[in-house]
């Protein structure tokens, strides 16, 4: 089978955004896993290999004590950024300011496999993404008017950019 394995890190996927997942399932070329928190994303990234990884910026910490304490720490320092754990996840995957990644995930660290699908505007994220050298990361903004195929189209856009297809 040559299907793409896709991880969608999104806490609203089983409620408001449920309809976005269906076109991906029915399309047939993508096998979708959904992580609803940073802890779940951490687990999936260590457990399985994905071809495409879609990250939401605002995600809850989940039950992992490490992520919980990081969330609390961010809350103490700055309330506005406390729920931006998707960014923190990217920081751990890719490493910040040339540092080695602190999260030892078994994923291919090619930026082309990752996409950010969030309600935040790109301008709000630009500074953080350039810190991580991820300015070339694919980005799509969630909004109330988006069609149900928005996620599928975004996955297709990312998968087209992977040099050797399914890896």
Q: Give me the residues that bind other proteins (CB under 8 A), please.
A: 1-3, 5, 13-15, 18, 21-22, 25-29, 31-34, 36, 39-40, 43, 47, 62-63
Give the nearest distance from C-beta 161 to other proteins in angstroms.
21
CB of 63 or CB of 121, closer to other proteins: 63
Least distance to other proteins from the beta carbon of 141, Å? 22
- The number of beta carbons lying within 10 Å of the beta carbon of residue 70 is 17
By beta-carbon proximity to other proteins, the closer residue of 121 and 148 is 148
Minimum Å gap between C-beta 13 and other proteins is 6
Q: 18 or 167, CB closer to other proteins?
A: 18
3-state percent breakdown (helix, strand, coil) of the chain, nearest 5: 40, 15, 40
Give the whole-angstrom CA distance, residue 149 versus residue 110: 25
Tokens of 122: 């790109």
Nearest to 116 by CA among 158, 70, 67, 61: 158
Q: Please check whether residue 9 is in contact with residue 55, taking contact to mean a CB–CB distance below 8 angstroms.
A: yes
Enclosing H/E stretch for 123: helix 122-131
In whole angstroms, how close is the CB of 24 to other proteins at the nearest point? 8
Q: Which is nearer to other proteins, 12 or 96 (CB)?
A: 12
Q: Give the number of other CB atoms < 10 A from CB of residue 158.
A: 23
Q: Which is nearer to other proteins, 104 or 126 (CB)?
A: 104
The nearest distance, CB 64 to other proteins, in angstroms, is 9
Rounded-to-integer distance, Cα 98 and Cα 133, Å: 9
């Amino acid at each position: 089978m040559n299907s793409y394995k896709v991880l969608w890190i999104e806490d609203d996927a089983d409620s408001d955004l449920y309809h976005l997942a269906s076109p991906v399932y029915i399309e047939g070329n993508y096998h979708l896993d959904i992580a609803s928190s940073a802890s779940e994303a951490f687990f999936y990234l260590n457990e399985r290999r994905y071809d495409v990884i879609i990250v939401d910026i605002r995600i809850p910490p989940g039950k992992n004590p490490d992520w919980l304490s990081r969330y609390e720490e961010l809350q103490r320092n700055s309330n506005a950024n406390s729920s931006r754990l998707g960014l923190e996840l990217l920081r751990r995957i890719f490493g910040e300011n040339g540092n080695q990644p602190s999260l030892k995930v078994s994923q291919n660290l090619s930026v082309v496999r990752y996409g950010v699908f969030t309600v935040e505007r790109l301008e709000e994220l630009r500074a953080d993404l350039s810190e991580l050298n991820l300015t070339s990361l694919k980005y799509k903004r969630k909004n109330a008017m988006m069609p149900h195929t928005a996620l599928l189209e975004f996955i297709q856009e990312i998968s087209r950019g992977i040099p050797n297809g399914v890896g």
